[in-house]
Amino acid sequence: MELPVISNAAIPNSGCRSGATADRGALAHLPDHIRVRVQDHPCYSEEAHHYFARMHVAVAPACNIQCNYCNRKYDCSNESRPGVVSELLTPEQAVKKTLAVAAAIPQMTVLGIAGPGDPLANPERTFATFRMLSAQAPDIRLCVSTNGLSLPDAVEELARHNIDHVTITINCVDPEIGARIYPWIFWNKRRIRGVEGARILIEQQQKGLEMLAARGMLVKVNSVMIPGVNDEHLQDVSKIVKAKGAFLHNVMPLIAQASHGTYYGLTGQREPTQFELQALQDVCAGDMAMMRHCRQCRADAVGLLGEDRGEEFTLDKIDAMEIDYGAAMAERARVREAITAELEMKRALKAVPKFEEAATREETTTRNLRVAVATKGGGLVNEHFGHAREFLIYEAGPGECRFLGHRKCTPYCMGDESCGDGETVLGQIIAALEGVEVVLASKIGFEPWNGLESAGIRPNGEHAMEPIEEAIRMVYDEMAAAGKLDTVVVDTVARAA
Amino acid sequence: MALEIVNACIGCHACEPLCPNRAITAVMKSGQPLFAIDANKCTECLGDHELPQCAEICPIEGAIVDEYGEPLNPPGSLTGIPFALFEQIREAECHR
């Protein structure tokens, strides 16, 4: 089973890799100059997201549609989901913040505008921000995400500002299904409800996608998986958007808690399980390059994917910073070059065929193994178990290893002296790690170690600071050699397929 | 006749550019925009649009009221959330 991941699409395969193959890489169909545009973008490249940072600036408050998973009232600083922001910025403030962040975090390659409303429903604020940034920080890539309703009208201007990537959220191509997701849209000076509103929205999304693709702009499609509403339908969506020129499909799980005050949250619409999400991603992957490392960021997120350093860059804190913008840009160029060189070296190493290993592996019939990894970036096993806010899940087989996604959790140890809620939290972490047999972390405390073991999960702290995929390969080979992977207990791949 | 923006407004800016009379403005109060409609300028869009534009795009139920204090978008009319669940919404309000 081949599951292309864009990061190492064109690399000949051997050993442990993120699932791409040489001949059928997810981005193999793209010309080189486009692939280059993607490989240092954390939101597009699974490999890049360990190294490069991004930020969103919240300049776009207005929206022109209502989604049943969104509540425009909420604005909590302790909540993390799309559409939530703490501080709305003017374009001038947004530029100031972007330059401050890009000076403090030289790994920053990408600035996106994603809300909290719809960026293209706020064209003046959105484009004013882009215009200033492309003049003042030309090395930073600009992206925008949209619900698509105003997209056809904006394509011209997006192209003019040299916007690199556009993300369209497309949850359906069938207006009947759309009516269960979007209660209304604002169109031609009036609110249009139900199937008619959904029909117009879908038409605009598809038209916008075609127009962007015709101009050679990179389009990613986001879809929210809503069990019982569009879960089966998303397979068709995936095929259609690929045919129209989208290069990546990101199927995300619905977030629906009653405490968020959304229609879905309050009416008991359930969220998909991690297994259901992965199964759908696997099915769609037959037709379309899938993104699996999305963290469903806030519209004002800052830093590496999975972390949010927004608190360090509030407006008053930025005012107090002294920044040498020229030096910051030079430092970014240096850091970017170093990371790119490191990644190229890693790709080259992976490309060296290991014939002997491959030959011996083919004879064995070991089963697949799911491994959870605690990392804070850099592609390394470098986070303490107790500090991890999420685990990256990989599935290793005899000849390959692929990234499946991430599972969020409350850290076992919140950093203060007492880990008072440790036991309950550990229970939640173990539940989040369903299906996982090994946990890799740079360090694992005595108590969680025992808890994990009694739950049938092997804690492993022997691979601290090692590259994730190499560490997984070593663990896999070790367990295979010890005969621990011989018997096919649960064939997870077969189930997913 | 004039419409009014009340406390429920979340300051999303959606209405402001749509007003044909430029009657909607915001003052900043502790970092948040506080929107208001100038009653002398508001015509409820009569003569310009079939429907009052601010109320047509507003995503918040009850945020815009007419001269009698009646909301143009009453509870449940935009989100479809049933009345029985409104208590839950109030409980869920985020207190920062």
- Provide CB contacts within 8 A for A458, sequence distance 6+: A437, A438, A439, A452
Per-residue confidence (pLDDT) for residue A81, from 0 to 100: 54
Domains by residue range for chain A, with CATH: 6-319 (3.20.20.70), 355-496 (3.30.420.130)
Helices (H), A274-404: 274-284, 315-319, 325-351, 355-363
Q: What percent of chain B has pLDDT over 70?
A: 90
A242 three-state secondary structure: helix
The pLDDT tens digits of the residues spanning B57-86 come to: 999 999 999 999 999 999 999 998 888 777
* Alpha carbons A411 and A407: distance in angstroms, whole number: 12
Token pair, residue B5, equals: 């923006």
What is the pLDDT of chain B when averaged over all its residues? 88
Residue showing tokens 């178990």: A385
B94/A190 CB distance under 8 A: no
A267/B33 CB distance under 8 A: no
Per-residue confidence (pLDDT) for residue A23, from 0 to 100: 30
* Alpha carbons A373 and A391: distance in angstroms, whole number: 5
Per-residue confidence (pLDDT) for residue B92, from 0 to 100: 56
Q: Do A456 and A445 form a contact (C-beta atoms < 8 A)?
A: no
- Chain A nearest C-alpha distance from B73 (Å): 11
Positions in chain A whose pLDDT score sits under 70: 1-31, 33-34, 43-44, 74-86, 295, 297-299, 306, 350-364, 414-423, 487-497
Say how many domains are in chain B.
1
* Alpha carbons A315 and A41: distance in angstroms, whole number: 26
- Chain B nearest C-alpha distance from A178 (Å): 15
Per-residue confidence (pLDDT) for residue A75, from 0 to 100: 57
Per-residue confidence (pLDDT) for residue A80, from 0 to 100: 52
A266/B85 CB distance under 8 A: yes
Say yes or no to pLDDT of B87 above 80. Answer: no
Q: Are strands A53-56 and A108-113 parallel, antiparallel or unpaired?
A: parallel
The pLDDT tens digits of the residues spanning A331-347 come to: 888 888 888 888 888 77
Q: Could you tell me how far CA A403 lies from the centroid of its own chain?
A: 12
A387-417 residues labelled b (16+ CB within 10 A) or e (exposed): bbbbbbbbbbbbebbbbbbbbebebbbeeee
The pLDDT tens digits of the residues spanning A463-493 come to: 988 888 889 988 988 888 888 887 554 444 4
Per-residue confidence (pLDDT) for residue A361, from 0 to 100: 47
Per-residue confidence (pLDDT) for residue A104, from 0 to 100: 87
> Could you tell me the CATH number of the domain that includes residue B50?
3.30.70.20
Per-residue confidence (pLDDT) for residue B61, from 0 to 100: 93
Q: What is the largest CA-CA distance in chain B?
A: 43
Residue showing tokens 């190492």: A8
The conformational region for residue A273 under phi > 0 = left, psi -120 to 50 = alpha, else beta, is beta
A88/B11 CB distance under 8 A: yes
| Chain A residues inside the 8 Å CB shell of B60 | 72-73
Per-residue confidence (pLDDT) for residue A21, from 0 to 100: 35
Domain that includes residue B28, residue range: 4-92
A468 three-state secondary structure: helix
Find the mean pLDDT for residues B43-66.
95
Per-residue confidence (pLDDT) for residue B5, from 0 to 100: 96
* Alpha carbons A144 and A135: distance in angstroms, whole number: 17
Per-residue confidence (pLDDT) for residue B60, from 0 to 100: 94
Helices (H), B2-73: 53-57
